[in-house]
Amino acid sequence: MIHEALKSHWGLRLIRQEPWECLSAFILSSFNNIPRLTGMLERLALCFGNGIEAASRGWRFAGPRPLTYRFPTAQVLAKVSERVLRNCGLGFRAPYLKAAAQRVASGEAPLEEWRKLEDEVLRQKLLTIPGVGQKVVECVMLFGFCRAAAFPVDVWIGRAMRAWYFPKRRVTDAQIREFARRHFGSHCGWAQQYLYCWARRASSRFKDPDL
């Protein structure tokens, strides 16, 4: 199946995010959908981020260039009350984001320094941050720390892997991750992205026995 995914999505790129913004986004992604998550991130940037001029990219503006907003730093969000964060639409995720911001801002979770760590050490460090579980860890490692051996298992990947590689077995997400690292090797994170895109396109072609 991976060969079909590669042919179908040849040239796919991996996003490379700043670790704190990436961590925040995936903490907020819990039990969420993309439009609502996008709204949360935009409101946080608008309320607490620094405004910057939008790049012109060859366009001419009649008046002042429009402002866009950077995602707020951990130092800024650590000082925002949980009530205000909830008012930004974060709901039950607000205390987790605030606690994570406090850990990063205080230096207890120095994300930039963690870039130097080996994969397994980094994985265990990230798991100590409030609101961070195994799926979030793998996502942050892949997209925030560029660790190609990370293999996030979300709903789509779980369905696809169970249908395509374990059609007659019940396996856990942890078993899927372990299989992926053995089967796809040290760049299984790239395989995950191809399989994810293929799964979204071919969702009607497979059935998940757990659905």
Tokens linked to 17: 């995010």
Which residue numbers are catalytic? Answer: 135
Q: Count CA within 13 A, CB hemisphere, residue 70.
A: 12
Tokens linked to 40: 């949360």
Q: Does the CA dihedral 16-17-19-23 come out positive or negative? A: negative
Contact indicator for 134, 127 with CB cutoff of 8 Å: yes
Contact indicator for 174, 152 with CB cutoff of 8 Å: no
